[in-house]
Structure 1
């Protein structure tokens, strides 16, 4: 009881809130003025214009009242983790007049088929209207076992302090307001058992008060539901989770202020011990050490040890009493927590629940920034991540968010401005720090790592081949290149012979003035050397030949965008500007060139030589080759599960492991088959994949890939639509509609084939019926056809077409077919002939009620 009093006194006022957007008073006014009003369809033939206008007004008022009632149901469903489980109507069962009462039943999702509910009624009482919150059962009384279970609420005492009463109900509320029973609980039980009382509800009345606001009714109904829920749980047979020791059994007597002071003092509690409390607070204050470990890393024992260390330190500082075991041995953990044993649970063996004053203290410390270092640590990402989920859950968009977060050292939660994220994403992509590719069935090793490519020269008679790096190898070469060198990620390596072998006057001049020069005065313009000379680009690297078919004596970078012909010189007039990084060296680069001798040409490309290896030689000979590049680089692989992983990664699958990256203690490399060069993945490269679970589940993924990646699930989230205000089209709750569609898909198929919220985000800027129609016609229906292989009966169930009030509102129409009217001869013996034909009803897409009746 002490825990309950603390909850009511300290936490309840902030939880119940004030939902001023719901017109509680308007609903009361509607029922007061609009009961038993005659009604028929306004589009019926032969109606006078005046009557049509009256009917439309009746309909509008009724729909508005139901819309507000739905808002109430949704608000309370979210607050108490219930579900709005039935459609609501302003018409009576005959559809010929307005109701005498309105009704919104709420249930736990897993008990949706159970007739018992916590219901909010709007009804007449004492010549005015009121709200009544009740433990309801939809049953005619014939099922005696169900009624007996329902009346088990009489086995627990009535919470009179919360304003609860017993009422006797006869049939429908259309028959009148239930009578309050002014009898003892035992008397009522006897009359129920004897059959004198058929149905006894437990409920609370919230009468109209002239001077009260909508906030008053919201608060009172919230209190009423909270009071009735224990009886609902009891009738359903739900066992309440009990934590021990209760406050009555043990109270350390420590206030929130004391906890805050002690935990914030490094001399009493080491800050390194606080991770258990901080992470548990972020998880809502309840969890096991194993759950913390699974979410934030480290082992369960680490968090258990830190929790006990904190508890001992708090006890030492306060000299608070300790809770004793049955054996008499003192326990420290109750100083901080309540506890619960979890027998045979995959989540751990013991669950902690933080004491309420401790939760307040951790919140205060959080607001003071005490846990900032832990937050910074949480910004670290695994080197290999896959975002997975059904279509339309924002995986590709989130890959951009994750990439920017990784590159800029931020947490994903910090990046909320979509336009700013995409601008930064494109900047990083342009700078070469983010790359993007999409796997497909024909994607191979040659495109990803390296392969050979034919080179066709119009003037040559034979086809030659060159080795070309794939997109991932190129990206790794860039990421492994030292900083401050301003290297173009498309840079090439060129080989030049400056007037022959060894030292000579031309070479010394070139090294001194920063050029490379050639003499082609007597050669025609189409000369192949001159073509190569013209192809050099700023940022390309150049090496100068020294001799022995393997040695070089200079390494530089091309600086100008095109060659020039220097008339002032007496010879070697064709010139390019070069920034020489090192000169007058002698370095054998045969190994860097894949074991090949240097070519016998004046100018040519060296496709096997990597810039990062040249820069290592620059550093070796005292030249400036930049600092080690530690900036994060992100390689995004969209649809990673669609590729043949063994074919694409080949022998490099091991190299992507974080412990096998270049520079790590267990660093590994592999010799590439085409170039013969060693290759390793730099430690600053992050691989970020996306995976559509509708194509292939994680269980079917390549095992080698699966165990090298961490996975982040991205499921449909209707709250995203609410946050960006894309959840309404007219008075249709799009978010609730999406939840209902996905609930049905999960039941009929599985959760991996649900509909993502991203399909509906366009409603943010265009919340029109035509936009919703386009989404359904072009995205939702085709996806459902794909999921259910054109099993249109199941698609009807998903869209609620099986129970719609009018065929014109059905997205999928069905009609019976008679085989003998279609085929010749006797077809009675043919097995599995369809009994219905299905068609897509285009008319339904343009009617807002088609979507409303999905709910």
Structure 2
């Protein structure tokens, strides 16, 4: 049962928004069903291809940032089509119990993952996805199931149905029964049916039973429906025409009466007083813990007891909550910069009375760090030599035993019992790392033996223990008071403070940020290279993962490297590019990790490549590029260490133990390394052979004959510039034939680029200060040849 009048209120607003807002955004649900219905054929010869087509328009219904059910089930269908076919046949067998079918589909997905997962962490075939498959096949009987959504709908419509985390079978059965009741009400609404029919097109499932419309109404309630609160909206304390007529002495007496002010009431009062006497429920929850409802309901219950004890006047209002809280407070709307919607301020007499009572033994901070929707927050401490959080792939799930090797309960055992699926977790690695390295989520609560954590994000810039310890906002963290243990409570305020620390050095991805597109055509327009050479360069880098662009100065190696990355990404995203330059003193400690001095000793610090690998690991579906200028100037073996193996294409994502901390580490598959090497620098030895095997070497040659440079040259329409370029090309032919030099010492085109106006003065400067000094180095033992070319180049301007 549910409140049908509340549903009618929702539908009034839903109908207003349907044509302009709801339908354009949600039409794809009806199209997804139609697509499935047209393509589904369980007896298809190519089951995998058929399934892919059938699910082609499900979009975010079966895919999101960290959830890929459609992708996984179609991949399994490619590998084991008959096994997956039998799973769907059983799922769609209406003669069997609903949840039995759902559970069997999920269990068989576990088997597929073990056999064919190829290292994947999850199969993603859970209740939400499986109920979506049922809805697609039988859209006149089933609905899309999301626990958070149905809980919100149940709460808003004040239904009798209950939904609990972990109660999978009961939740599914209650969900179907609940939505059947809602659907029955919608079917009686002719206006709503006509509204839907007016928008349905040939690409949409007609939805005669309005099941898909029921799904959409539920989505609307959970996402958009907010009943406006009653009460004044002016920025003034309210009410002005009511008082409980209680003196300071009256309040002092009540504060000493445990039947009126119980323990939780005194906690609310102490926290209000500590916050300055006025606060929103949200502000109190963030700073001191507990839920918003703890302060809201607790204050109303306290007001009832005060009224019952004193017989004080009660405000005349229809809404009981608005009659009760004014006994304790006055209130007003919160400002935009204040967390929460409504601010309460202690009545003056009550605030004065609190100054006269001893609240020393009343806890200021809540003991249970519970969020406003029942979510808890935790600080997980792990020994990195037993479980390396940092090397664990994003999206992977790690189980953690509730008992140690001796069979004894872990310290603070109650925390493992209290942790629930969906709780957020800060991942901290203990000695020798002593840093926050990841953010997790409890993916499944404890089953009596284990609890399960899913990695959401690895930190490219971890947060040191010393940084945490120095923050007064965190001084009451349970971890600091009980250092022995694994799982520690965090208040919501502590968790959000730590997240703020993390975000200062590890910005959250801004997927909504528009980035400039970049294509192969754009590359060829800017980097003077032939299309054939570009295609070959991309192919080599994609296969080998590591490449060195080698060539003489001025051939545009550095300029090309960044734009090569852009062209492969398809956009100019500098967040996915890291640039570094090697030199003789560059070390493994700078590149990977090493101990650096701090005030009280030494601390392990991560280097630029380690952090960039962590950053790339957070987005395994995207390409990342690490660009190294002057790669041959560094001591390769000293800088790369064990990475000489890990950067190989065949060993990507293979874990190896690091020398410094003894922890495992791997290089992401889609991280590419682009090095640059100046072949004309004869003061440097040849590059380390061990590193040479890990890289492909790509010759960058002058681009004077490329289509891009020719267009650039024609744009000047300058005869002197044309003559100068002809002479430079003649010079390059002579350099290439010189046995002591070769084509790796030719003059690059970039010396003659990047100017808006082609003047004789600029061209002479290039010749005198760039080209001739280089020739002087090339032919230091052949003065006649040097003089001849000096005359030739200067003769261009005569």
TM-score > 0.5, shorter chain as reference: no
What is the TM-score with the length of structure 1 in the denominator?
Answer: 0.28
What is the TM-score with the length of structure 2 in the denominator?
Answer: 0.30
